[in-house]
Chain A
């Protein structure tokens, strides 16, 4: 029994070498830090963005702990479908669609984690979960947002800029250049980007969690056959849920009126 529920086991059979994980987390943190410095960090989120992020995290929590938790009991644990994954992905896609700024994935994951700790887990196993969820799920979502640029989910109106001078200049500079995906109809684009994020999200749970976090926190043997099968088996669900999530996002963002 180690500190704060972390056993700190680094040599479980088949565990991903800790150097690799450390390198990944280190590079991830460095990237986040440098990107934040370059783009203004948290200051680039407007008050409205922060409220959207908070609400998205609240939905993810309500799903994870109350509604989804009980629906999930009807489905035995299996590698093909996860009810928690479904709700969390859709909630986070909606937040990404409403905010449309790089960094939203990580900030939303951070808030989601903090809130789940406050209302249920009591900071057990932290700070491993903060690092894991922000730098896998959050970072992957942010990479897709960065690539999609102004065409995220086919929502073509510019995102809100904070009311500082620097932001306004950047907004003018950006508005001229046409995006890479601007010819694709919005509905397809929303589905494609939903699927991309969905498939990305199918990887960390089997790979990182079963391959490192779980043996690191609790010990045990890592079964690589099960991990690879887990990733492949989950992809159909990821595609379907991702597409649906993308479309729901497009619909909600339009209904909210941007």
Chain B
């Protein structure tokens, strides 16, 4: 009996780690939420006036700083960047989506590391202090690569690693949300990326939110036709997932059929007829960009000071 309860709870914990982020995705963010954070919408605050190249540099700096410093600097950057989401168009909604995305990444990453990280690495990360066991898995869990025990240190370690990803993901989405594809095209061409490559990239950038939009439509149509109508209500989120997977191939066909119209419209505007393109509005470096640069310099300075003061990367990192 006791064994049964242990097994039951272990599997419950296992499915919590897997299902909870999916539940956040389906309930709190939804396909429209993903569409919102991967699509450009016109507005006028500082991010929208910034040169896309500067935004890319900002992303790289945030990535480097999060990788070089102690976890709470990454956490601090995450909070600051998330707060700047409030200045975007429809800021509260984007802030909420950004918040849930961060939560999802944090729980997902913590769960991806906590049960698997070998004790040797945990010992190294926590300087040899004794590991506190929270839960003992049934012995066959080791087949899945689980360590015998779930430890407090494992959870902390997983959480600290997640702080390395959250800030840079949020910063990278800012680029997608606040620059038009043609702005990105212009600044990448300035760096010397061939026009064929940037064109393909811009098509990809524009396609990502459209995939969510069409999958959403496809799921709604399937619900109208009765998918999961007899299932109990609490299973409904999983029917969204089933519908989304069913919708993938039709969505691909629908999108790819539209590709010909895009190609014709690009060709009629003399795409690649000449080696170089000219632009009606050249990408310039303005006041906002200079401000952003000074922020970048400041962040780098703080990082150097932090590393010198011993707040460098405190934990070993694999994967």
Contacts and interface: CB of A to CB of B under 8 A. Distances in A.
A122 B116 CA distance: 26
Interface string A98-131: 1000000001001110110011111110000000
Interface in B13-39: 15, 17-19, 21-22, 25, 34, 38
B108 A115 contact: no
A147 interface: no
Given A51-B259, A111-B201, A120 B207 contact: no
Nearest to B173: A119
Contacts of B315: none
Interface in A44-86: 45-48, 50-55, 57-59, 61-62, 66-67, 69-71, 73-74, 76-78
Query: Chain B's interface: helix, strand, loop or mixed, by majority?
Result: helix
Contacts of A1: 67-68, 312-313
B70 interface: no
A52 B19 CA distance: 34
B200 interface: yes
Contacts of B90: none
A61 B204 contact: yes
Query: Which of B38, B204, B241 has the most CB atoms of chain A within a 10 A radius of its CB?
Result: B204
A163 B105 CA distance: 47
A220 B205 contact: no
Query: Which of B64, B176, B203, B253 has the most CB atoms of chain A within a 10 A radius of its CB?
Result: B203
Contact of A5 (B67, B175, B262): B67
Contacts of B199: 47, 50, 54
A22 interface: no
B256 A73 contact: no
A78 B141 CA distance: 12
Interface stretch (A148-156, A170-178, A198-206, A248-256): A248-256
B204 A76 contact: no
Interface stretch (B2-10, B164-172, B227-235, B279-287): B164-172
B200 A57 contact: yes
A255 B244 CA distance: 20
Contacts of A235: none
A39 interface: no
Contacts of B25: 66, 70
Contacts of A51: 200, 203, 259, 262-263, 266
B200 A111 contact: yes
A47 B266 contact: yes
B204 A54 contact: yes
Contacts of B267: 47
B256 A252 contact: yes
Nearest to B116: A77
Given A1-B68, A47-B266, A78 B259 contact: no
Interface string A22-40: 0000000000000000000
B155 interface: no
A220 B255 CA distance: 43
A11 to B, nearest CB: 18
A204 B293 CA distance: 39
B194 A120 contact: no
B144 A67 contact: no
Contacts of B256: 52, 55, 94, 98, 252, 256
Query: Which of B15, B22, B313 has the most CB atoms of chain A within a 10 A radius of its CB?
Result: B22
A134 B312 CA distance: 33
A182 interface: no
B190 to A, nearest CB: 16
Given A58-B204, A107-B200, A122 B63 contact: yes
Interface string B56-91: 100110111001100000000000000000000000
Nearest to A54: B203
Contacts of A120: 168-169, 172
B200 A53 contact: yes
Contacts of A143: none
A252 B211 contact: no
B212 A118 contact: no
23 contacts: A5-B64, A43-B196, A50-B196, A54-B199, A54-B200, A54-B204, A66-B34, A67-B245, A70-B21, A70-B22, A70-B25, A73-B21, A78-B145, A94-B252, A94-B256, A114-B201, A115-B204, A119-B38, A119-B169, A119-B208, A122-B63, A122-B171, A218-B319
Interface of B: 15, 17-19, 21-22, 25, 34, 38, 56, 59-60, 62-64, 67-68, 108, 111-112, 116, 144-146, 168-169, 171-173, 175-176, 194, 196-197, 199-205, 207-208, 211-212, 241, 244-245, 248-249, 252-253, 255-257, 259-260, 262-263, 266-267, 271-272, 312-313, 317-319
- Which are the 9 A-B pairs with shortest beta-carbon distances? A54-B203, A122-B63, A58-B207, A76-B144, A48-B263, A73-B18, A122-B168, A54-B200, A54-B204
